[in-house]
Amino acid sequence: MTARIRRGLRLVLVLLGVIALLVAWIAWLNLRGESSEAATAEAKLADRALIERGAYLARAGNCIGCHTVRGGASFAGGRGIDTPFGVVMAPNITPDVNTGIGGWTAADFWRALHHGRSQDGRLLYPAFPYPSFTHVTRDDSDALFAYLRSVPAVEQANRPHRLRFPYGTQAALAIWRALYFRAAALPPEPHHSPGWNRGRYLVQGLGHCAACHSGRNVLGGIRNEWAGGLMPDASWYAPSLASPSEAGVQHWSRDEVVRLLKVGVTRNASVSGPMAEVVFSSTQYLSDPDLEAMAEYLATLPLREAPGPDAQRADADLLVRGGQLYGQHCAACHGDAGRGFPGLYPALAGNRAVTLALPNNLVQMIRHGGFAPATVGNPRPFGMPPFGQALNEGEIAAVATFIRQSWGNAAGAVSPLDVLRVK
Amino acid sequence: MRLSVRSLIAVGLLAHGALSAAQGPAGREVSDTMAERMQACVMCHGREGRATNAGYFPRIAGKPAGYLLSQLQNFRDGRRQNATMSHLMQHLSDDYLRAIADYFASLDLPYPAAQASSLSADQQRVAQTLVFKGAPDRQIPACVACHGANMAGRLPAMPGLLTLPPDYLISQLGAWRTGQRHAAPPDCMAEVAMRLTPGEVDIVARWLSAQTLPTGTRPQGVDGPPLPLRCGSGER
C-alpha cells in the first residue's frame, strides 16, 4: 500500500517536473534573443528627415489600415480585426500618454515590432503582424517611431479584445509563439541583387504580404507561405503568389506589377477587395524603385501550382440560366464573349480572379460590386454595380457558374450554398 | 465570329491610346466619360441617377452638389450607415467624390408624375402646414425654409425632397431620430427630426413623395432668406 502511494507520488513529481520544464522551455522560446535594448538619442528621433522616412515606411506597412477606424482619427485605433478566434481590437498608437504610446521609448517600440511584446511585457496577438515586422531593421523601427510621435495625439481608450477562451490568455499566446514565431532579422543574400534584397525586405517585412497570401493551419500559424489563404474573416481569398494561375507574377513584366501596385489597374488586371485597400492606402505611395524591387522579388517566389480546378461541367440548365442572367446584367460591360474593355472593364475570359478554386472573390464582386481604388494614375476609376441588390443567391450562383465555365474558363460550379457561405 | 472584328477595332483604338470611344464586343460604345463611370450607380438609382418614387432608392439627379458630396463622404467615413454605399465609396478620393457629386447635380431629368394621395383630407392639411408653415410652437421650421420654396432643394447643400420614396424618407428621419444618420454639425435636421412625432413623419413623407416638379426645376440659389436654424451643411 505504502509502496503504491510512493510510486504514485513519484509519478506526480515526474509529471510536475516535465510540466515545469515545458513551461520553462516555452518561456525561453518566447524571450530568447531579447536583450536590454539600446536607447535612441532624442536628437535623432526629432530629426525631420527621419520622421519623413517614418511616414513613408508607415505607408509601406499600411499601419493606418488597422489602427484607424472608418472615418476616425488617424492611428487612434478602434478597428476590430475579425479572426477565427474572436475579434482583436487595434490599439491607439498616437502619442497620447494615457491611451496611446506617448509613454513608450524607441526601444519599447522596437520590442513590439521585433519581439511582439508590448511595453508592459504582455505578449501581443499576431493579428499585429509581427511575424513579418520582426524583419524590420532597428533603424526603420526608429523612423516609424519618430513619425508616430509626430502625428496628433488623440485621447481614445483602447477597446478590449473579444477573444474566445483560451485564445485570449497569455499562456495560449506563449504556446502559439513557441510554435510559430521566431524573432529574426533578414540578412541580405549577397548572391541576389540589391533590388531583390530590398524587395524581399519590403514584401516580407513591413508589407506583411505573407500575412494574407499564405495558407494557415487551424491554430492560425502560417503553414504554406505564399500558397494563398482565406482572409481571417473568411470574406475574401488572398490568392497564391506562388501560382501563376492565381496571383503569381513570375511570368509578368516588372512594369505591369509596378503598375498594378501603383495604379490599381493594368490592361489585364485590377485589384479588388482587401487588395484594393492595400493599393489605396499603401502601395500607391511607394517609390518606383521600391515597387520595382518588390516586383523583382515577387517574380522569384518559387513556383507552386495550385491543384487543378474542378473541371466538372455544371448542369446544362444552370448554364443556360446563368447565360441569360449574364446577357441581361453583365454583357454590356464585360462583353458577350467575356472580353471586356481592357483597362476599363476587365475581361472575364481567362481572368485568374474568376477561376480561383474558392469562388469567394467572384461572389463578393457580383454581390457588392465596387470601384477600383482611386489613385494618382487612375483618379476616376470605373466601377461595378452591387448586383446583390437585384440577384438572389441562386441567381448569383448561376451567373458565377456561367462565368467560370465559359470562353475557355474551366473552374468548378458555384452552388447557392457556396454563395451563402461567403460572408 | 461577328465579335472578333469589333474587338480588333477596339484593340486597335486602345493601342493608339484612343480610349475615348471604344466600340465594345456587345456593340456598345464604352467611352471615357463620367456617365460611363457612373454605370455602377444606375442599377439602384435609375438611369442617370433618376429613380422613381416607388421602392427605396432616392433620386440623386439634380440634387445640390454640396449635399451629394457630403453624403458620399458620410458613407465613406461612417457617418451614414449603408453597407452597400460604404463599400462602394471606401477607396475613393475626395476629388473623385466631388466629380461624382458635380456630375449628378448637373443632371436635369424629368421627375416622376404626381401620385394620387393616400392621405385623408385632414392628413393632407397636417402635411401642408408642416411643409409650408412649420410648427413654430414646437420650434419646427417650415420645410420650405431650408429645402427651397418649391422643395426642389437649396444651394449649397440642402436636398430636394419631392418624389422621393416614402420608405426612404421615413427611414432617413428615423435614422436621424436614433442617431444613425448625421449631418455636418450643428446638425439642424437632427433637431427637427427629434421634434416631429412618428405620425407626422409618416404623413409628411407620404405627402412629399406624391408631389412632382416640372422638368428643369433647379434648387433655389444661396441668396434666399437666412436659414431658420444653424445648419452645418448649409453654411459651407
Q: What distance in Å separates residue B110's CA from the closest CA in chain A?
A: 23
Same domain, A160 and A63: yes
Residues of B in contact with A333 (CB under 8 A): 24, 30, 39
| Residue A78 · residue A96 · CB < 8 Å | no
ipTM (interface pTM) = 0.91
| Residue B208 · residue B201 · CB < 8 Å | no
CA dihedral A131, A280, A359, A339 (to 10 degrees): -140
In angstroms, the first-to-last Cα distance of chain B is: 56
Phi-psi category of A263—alpha, beta or left, where left has phi over 0 and alpha has psi -120 to 50? alpha
Which residue in the block uniquely carries the three cell numbers 418614387?
B53
Which residue in the block uniquely carries the three cell numbers 532597428?
A138
DSSP annotation of B151 reads S
Q: What's the pLDDT at B10?
A: 40
In B, minimum Cα distance to A276 occurs at B91
In A, minimum Cα distance to B4 occurs at A337
Residues of A in contact with B56 (CB under 8 A): none
- B75-124 pLDDT, tens digit per residue, is 999 989 999 999 999 999 999 999 999 999 999 999 989 988 889 999 99
Q: What distance in Å separates residue A384's CA from the closest CA in chain B?
A: 5
- A259-304 pLDDT, tens digit per residue, is 999 999 998 899 999 999 999 999 999 999 999 999 999 999 999 8
Same domain, A162 and A256: no
- Interface membership of B95 toward A (CB under 8 Å): yes
Q: What's the pLDDT at A343?
A: 80
In B, minimum Cα distance to A369 occurs at B88
Residues of B in contact with A69 (CB under 8 A): 78
In a domain, A17, yes or no: no
Same domain, A67 and A169: yes
User: Within 10 A of A37 (CB to CB), how many other CB atoms are there?
Assistant: 17
Residue A142 pLDDT > 90, yes or no?
Answer: yes
Q: What's the pLDDT at A266?
A: 93
Same domain, A202 and A234: yes
Q: What's the pLDDT at A306?
A: 65
- B22-74 pLDDT, tens digit per residue, is 555 456 778 899 999 999 999 899 887 788 788 899 999 999 999 999 999 99
Q: Among the three residues A298, A327, A352, which one is the final residue of a domain in this structure?
A: A298
- B168-226 pLDDT, tens digit per residue, is 999 999 999 999 999 888 999 999 999 999 999 999 999 999 999 998 899 999 888 89
Same domain, A170 and A69: yes
Residues in CB range of B66: below 8 A, 6 or more apart: B101, B155, B156, B157, B233, B236
User: Within 10 A of A272 (CB to CB), how many other CB atoms are there?
Assistant: 23
CA distance to A301, B91, B175, B181, per residue, from A55 (Å): 28, 20, 38, 34
- A2-14 pLDDT, tens digit per residue, is 888 999 999 999 9
Q: What's the pLDDT at A34?
A: 82
Contacts 24+ apart (CB under 8 A), A15-19: none
- A49-104 pLDDT, tens digit per residue, is 999 999 999 999 999 999 999 999 999 999 999 999 999 999 999 999 999 999 99
Contact B93 A379 (CB under 8 A): yes
Contact A386 B99 (CB under 8 A): no
Confidence of residue A29 (pLDDT cuts 50, 70, 90): confident
In A, minimum Cα distance to B92 occurs at A374
CA distance to B47, B62, B167, per residue, from B53 (Å): 14, 15, 9
C-alpha cell at A274: 482587401
Exposure pattern of A251-270 as b/e (b: 16+ CB <10 Å)? ebebeebbbbbbbbbbebbb
Q: What distance in Å separates residue B85's CA from the closest CA in chain A?
A: 9
Confidence of residue A334 (pLDDT cuts 50, 70, 90): very high
Query: Smallest Cβ distance to B40: which of A277, A335, A383?
Result: A383
- A346-395 pLDDT, tens digit per residue, is 999 999 999 999 999 999 999 999 999 999 999 999 999 999 999 999 99
The domain segmentation of chain B, as residue ranges, is 1-32, 121-210
Contact A277 B91 (CB under 8 A): yes
Q: What distance in Å separates residue B223's CA from the closest CA in chain A?
A: 32
Residues in CB range of A41: below 8 A, 6 or more apart: none
Residues of B in contact with A336 (CB under 8 A): 3, 25-26
Least confident of A134-138, A146-150, A310-314, B114-118: A310-314
In a domain, A21, yes or no: no
Contact B36 A372 (CB under 8 A): no
In a domain, A69, yes or no: yes
pTM greater than 0.80 (yes/no): yes
Least confident of B6-15, B133-142, B149-158, B219-228: B6-15
Mutant choice from B8, B91, B104 vs A, greatest count of A C-beta within 10 A: B91
Same domain, A233 and A356: no
Contact B87 A370 (CB under 8 A): yes
Q: Summarize the confidence of residues A168-188 as an average pLDDT.
A: 94
Contact A336 B40 (CB under 8 A): no
Q: Summarize the confidence of residues B151-157 as an average pLDDT.
A: 94
In A, minimum Cα distance to B41 occurs at A385
Contact A344 B28 (CB under 8 A): no
In a domain, A311, yes or no: no
Q: Summarize the confidence of residues B2-30 as an average pLDDT.
A: 46
Same domain, A349 and A394: yes
Residues of A in contact with B94 (CB under 8 A): none
What residues are paired with A163 via a beta bridge? A86
Q: What is the DSSP string of A257-269?
A: HHHHHHHSB-SS-
Q: What's the pLDDT at B8?
A: 40
Q: What's the pLDDT at A394?
A: 97
Confidence of residue A416 (pLDDT cuts 50, 70, 90): very high
- Interface membership of B194 toward A (CB under 8 Å): no
Q: What distance in Å separates residue A236's CA from the closest CA in chain B?
A: 14
Same domain, A172 and A223: no
Q: Among the three residues A154, A180, A206, which one is the final residue of a domain in this structure?
A: A180
Residues of B in contact with A267 (CB under 8 A): 14
Residue A120 pLDDT > 90, yes or no?
Answer: yes
Higher pLDDT, B178 or A308: B178
Contact A335 B34 (CB under 8 A): no
- Interface membership of B99 toward A (CB under 8 Å): yes
Contact B91 A339 (CB under 8 A): no
- Chain A residues whose C-beta is within 8 A of a chain B C-beta are 69-72, 267, 276-277, 279-280, 331-333, 335-337, 339-345, 368-374, 379-390
Q: What's the pLDDT at B224?
A: 84
Q: What's the pLDDT at A56?
A: 98
| Residue B159 · residue B147 · CB < 8 Å | yes
In a domain, A306, yes or no: no
Q: Map residue A133 onto helix, strand or coil.
A: helix
Write out the residue range of the structural domain in which residue A73 sits. 42-180
Report whether CATH 1.10.760.10 matches the domain B121-210.
Answer: yes
Q: Map residue A147 onto helix, strand or coil.
A: helix
In A, minimum Cα distance to B23 occurs at A341
Same domain, A102 and A146: yes
Residues of A in contact with B3 (CB under 8 A): 335-337, 339
In a domain, A223, yes or no: yes
Residues of A in contact with B28 (CB under 8 A): 332
Looking at the 3D structure of chain A, how many domains does it have? 3
Contact B92 A331 (CB under 8 A): no
Same domain, A163 and A279: no
Q: Among the three residues A146, A180, A214, which one is the final residue of a domain in this structure?
A: A180
Which residue in the block uniquely carries the three cell numbers 519618430?
A146
Same domain, A257 and A294: yes
Confidence of residue B235 (pLDDT cuts 50, 70, 90): low
In a domain, A394, yes or no: yes
- HSE, CB side, 13 Å, CA atoms: give it for residue A343: 21
Same domain, A175 and A199: no
